Structure 1
Amino acid sequence: MVPLTSPSMRPASEQLEILTRGTEVILPEGELLQRLQEGRPLRVKLGVDPTAPDVTLGWAVVFDLLRRFQECGHIAVLILGDFTAQVGDPTDKNATRQRLDESAVSAYAESCLPTIKRLLLPENLEIRPNSEWLSALDMRDVLELMSKFTVSRIMDRDDFTKRWEANQSISLIEFMYPLLQGRDSVAVNADIELGGTDQLFNNLVGRDLQERSGQRGQMVITVPLLVGTDGEKKMSQSLDNYISVSDPPDQMFGKTMSIPDDLMPQWYALTIFADDEEVSALRAGLADGSIHPGDAKRDLARRIVARYWGSEAGPEAEAAFDRVFRNKQAPEEVPEFPLPDDDEIWLPGLLSSAGLVASNSEGRRMVAQGAVKLDGVKVAVESVARGELVDGVLQVGKRRFGRFVAS
């Protein structure tokens, strides 16, 4: 991502325009300008639970807002939820989440934290693991925390209500999650908490706990949830409908080109932060046919790639995309893998060992579906003579390629 400099604090009215762009909910209404007019750096909290290894374009939406606060001279307080990740956020879940152990959470944190740091400015940045205060709670502290909320208040959460009405189990630890997240706000004395729209309830719990603890209650600002590449559900690594901000440019471009056309206005607004005028013109053009969806999607893909890889990377990724999908050629750079010494090579096993498929069974399925090509020609059999594969390029689906060489 192209580095930005951190300017001195701007006038409050100018900050307001910058910081409200692309937001969904700001509570309490009308208070943000008042806080900006105080003329001090605000402590802006964002909590992230490391429950997966990547940072997605959907996650990057709220990181962009946090960065804008930094650029306006405020302090980004990033809560690394190494403790809460082991509890599991029940938001939008229809069943109790599988709990992660400490080693898994640590591995995910180690994987995604460097990327998160790249998305933010190093100035005015605090990174605080919430195990710092949550792991120190004893039973007396936990009971005191639980006494501040009632079951009826927790059941105001829409996802809990739906599960209750459907006779689906809800564990007591899930009731604890909003309280633990709220305790984070008390620990860092947050002025504002950011999150996706699905975090509104949890963030308001933090405001309530602050006030009960004698602090000034934080403001809550949420951003819309980016719909994933499937066009149906929010972008999520668990649903495999995501694009990582660390994806290579050609993959980032190709995945963007696969999104449904009707997602483009939202993606223009949330992934490249196009202004309202541009998004409105896009909607109108797509509706009346004056803008071709393919052209608009190419523009979107180029700009997403440029945002994370630099201005030259966008056109280069587009050229690589055309080479594969328009001209039906292999990419310029194809990873190489050694061929076994057997006279006959079983393709499903070969593809699996090279990581082009997840398993032998997936390899058999891809061959059966006609999704495997050797030098551009579909392969209809599972076993191929070794000589035919030497220096050949195997393609699986649209984006997976491997060149196999004699060892």
Structure 2
Amino acid sequence: MNKIKEALSEIARGSVEFIGQEYIQSLVERFYASGERFIVKAGFDPTAPDLHLGHTVLLQKLATFQRYGGNVKFLIGDFTATIGDPSGKSETRKPLSKDEVERNAITYKEQVFKILDPQYTEVCFNSQWLNELGVGGMIGLASKFSVARMLERDDFTKRYQNNLPISIVEFLYPLLQGYDSVALESDIELGGNDQKFNLLVGRSLQRSYGLKKEQSILTVPLLEGLDGVHKMSKSLNNYIGVTEDSKTMYAKILSISDEMMWKYYNLLSNLSLGEIEDLKTNVKNGKIHPKSAKEQLALEITERYHSADLAKDAKIAFDNVFSKNETPTDLPTFKYNEGVWICKILVECQFCDSTSQARRDIRAGALKINKEKISDENLKMLAGEYIIQIGKRKFAKVIIH
């Protein structure tokens, strides 16, 4: 495989849809021939302060483009976040305040360079040009698109057919995101597969504004979370956070299913497609145990966001706790008066979101106290010191006076 084919194979790896492949190939060929780089854009609305591995699928793809000639425009949508992206939503999304956006944007900037090469990355804020657009500019922008075209978008169509409200502001969102592509003169735009409509708007607006280019589009899949079913989300508590401590990150990655492991490899690992295929073949043939392959993935990702030493320490800690059935040594400690309800403890230790969830977990057999399984959801604790455990990863020391 020559270097151009290898580059295009890695760029296409794990993608859902690829529009304008010929243009991307020409950009990569030009880079190898002359060293001239091209513009790759991806937008992030800073709607939460911390990124999880689901967000990093897009960052990994941006890093791939950087290896093959891409200059990344990492666009923080500080203006559009105050509107709220309606993509995939069944109702109008609540916008963020300016202060929330600014706080979240700072943490994004701190986190993305764990993956992206700073030399080929420019962090941009779309308020820079959208604030200057003005009323006349907004009217001119709105004139570039029809209501009929907007209603082609799946989520708008469903809401319109079900007589659910769609605000005019929501129609403006894809136009503003598309205008970002005009302002940045992007050659390629990346996004999740739920963003296809917005990405196509940018492609259309580049034509309307007379740019001598039409951005190619690459969409990436949404990564399922720890449950293996729903997309990774903090609200579903099935996420692996970029800023989580190394031991938690390592343990969470090892908890994914053997089948889901290969999707994580494909979307998150820096191993080549050939190396992943060899690893998969060795697992299938019984030369490598699936757990060993998963440990390799957990070490790679944990090292990326922490360090090689912390990743190794996380593996040792995990092996001690789960393979040797030992208890962690660095436990958080909580103190209560005698008679406290076990469900109250589980909530305040942040093991469960509510006492109702605590009851369900106890009924499901997830609670152990001093390594003994407890099934009494109404248990009142007596004086003493206890090690409380929920599931495989949550431990706490509780002192009852």
TM (norm. structure 1) is 0.84
Following superposition, the deviation at residue 241 of structure 1 comes to 2.2
Following superposition, the deviation at residue 193 of structure 1 comes to 1.3
SS at match of 1:30: helix
1:86 is aligned, of 75, 82, 106, to: 82
Q: CA 1:264–1:15 in structure 2 vs 1: closer, same or farther (change >3 Å)?
A: closer
1:172 is aligned, of 168, 171, 174, to: 168
Q: In the alignment, which residue of structure 2 is the partner of 1:162? A: 158
Q: Distance in 1 between matches of 2:85 and 2:342?
A: 41
Per-residue CA shift, 1:186-245, capped at 9, x if unaligned?
A: 122222212222222211211211221121222222233322222223223333322122
Q: Distance in 1 between matches of 2:245 and 2:286?
A: 32
Q: In the alignment, which residue of structure 1 is the partner of 2:217? A: 220
Question: Which letter does structure 2 place at the counterpart of 1:114?
Answer: E
Question: Which letter does structure 2 place at the counterpart of 1:30?
Answer: E
Q: Distance in 2 between matches of 1:261 and 1:239?
A: 21
Question: Which letter does structure 1 place at the counterpart of 2:172?
Answer: M
Contact 1:22/1:273, CA 8 A, preserved across alignment = no
Q: Are 1:117 and 2:117 counterparts? A: no
Note the 1:81-230 alignment, pairs <5 A: 81-215=77-211, 216-230=213-227
Taking every aligned residue pair, what percent have the same amino acid on both sides? 38
Question: Which letter does structure 1 place at the counterpart of 2:343?
Answer: P
Q: CA 1:29–1:98 in structure 2 vs 1: closer, same or farther (change >3 Å)?
A: same
Contact 2:10/2:273, CA 8 A, preserved across alignment = no
Q: Distance in 1 between matches of 2:391 and 2:107?
A: 28
Contact 2:159/2:166, CA 8 A, preserved across alignment = yes
- Greater displacement, 20-29 / 180-189: 20-29
Contact 1:268/1:279, CA 8 A, preserved across alignment = yes
Q: In the alignment, which residue of structure 2 is the partner of 1:371? A: 366
Contact 1:61/1:271, CA 8 A, preserved across alignment = yes
1:402 is aligned, of 373, 396, 399, to: 396
SS at match of 1:345: coil
Q: Are 1:30 and 2:27 counterparts? A: no
Gaps of 5+ in 1: 1-10
Following superposition, the deviation at residue 269 of structure 1 comes to 0.7
1:57 is aligned, of 53, 61, 78, to: 53
Contact 1:252/1:305, CA 8 A, preserved across alignment = yes
Following superposition, the deviation at residue 183 of structure 1 comes to 1.1
Contact 1:45/1:76, CA 8 A, preserved across alignment = yes
Per-residue CA shift, 1:121-173, capped at 9, x if unaligned?
A: 22132111112222333332222111101122222223333343444443332
Contact 2:60/2:268, CA 8 A, preserved across alignment = no
TM (norm. structure 2) is 0.85
Q: CA 1:171–1:291 in structure 2 vs 1: closer, same or farther (change >3 Å)?
A: farther
Following superposition, the deviation at residue 47 of structure 1 comes to 0.5
Contact 1:243/1:255, CA 8 A, preserved across alignment = yes
Following superposition, the deviation at residue 262 of structure 1 comes to 2.5
Question: Which letter does structure 2 place at the counterpart of 1:344?
Answer: G
Q: Distance in 2 between matches of 1:363 and 1:302?
A: 32
SS at match of 1:120: coil
Contact 2:207/2:214, CA 8 A, preserved across alignment = yes
Contact 1:54/1:112, CA 8 A, preserved across alignment = yes
Q: Are 1:258 and 2:255 counterparts? A: yes
Q: Distance in 2 between matches of 1:292 and 1:364?
A: 36
Per-residue CA shift, 1:5-56, capped at 9, x if unaligned?
A: xxxxxx8677545544444433213111222316422122111011122212
Q: Distance in 1 between matches of 2:273 and 2:64?
A: 18
- Greater displacement, 249-258 / 276-285: 276-285
Q: CA 1:218–1:163 in structure 2 vs 1: closer, same or farther (change >3 Å)?
A: same
Cα RMSD (Å): 2.9
Q: Distance in 2 between matches of 1:158 and 1:364?
A: 40
Question: Which letter does structure 2 place at the counterpart of 1:91?
Answer: S
Q: In the alignment, which residue of structure 2 is the partner of 1:355? A: 350
SS at match of 1:114: helix
Question: Which letter does structure 2 place at the counterpart of 1:385?
Answer: L
Q: Distance in 2 between matches of 1:367 and 1:225?
A: 32
Q: Distance in 2 between matches of 1:401 and 1:23?
A: 39
Question: Which letter does structure 2 place at the counterpart of 1:401?
Answer: F
Per-residue CA shift, 1:91-142, capped at 9, x if unaligned?
A: 2223332332223323322333311133222213211111222233333222
Contact 2:382/2:400, CA 8 A, preserved across alignment = no
Contact 1:197/1:223, CA 8 A, preserved across alignment = yes
Q: Distance in 2 between matches of 1:321 and 1:285?
A: 24
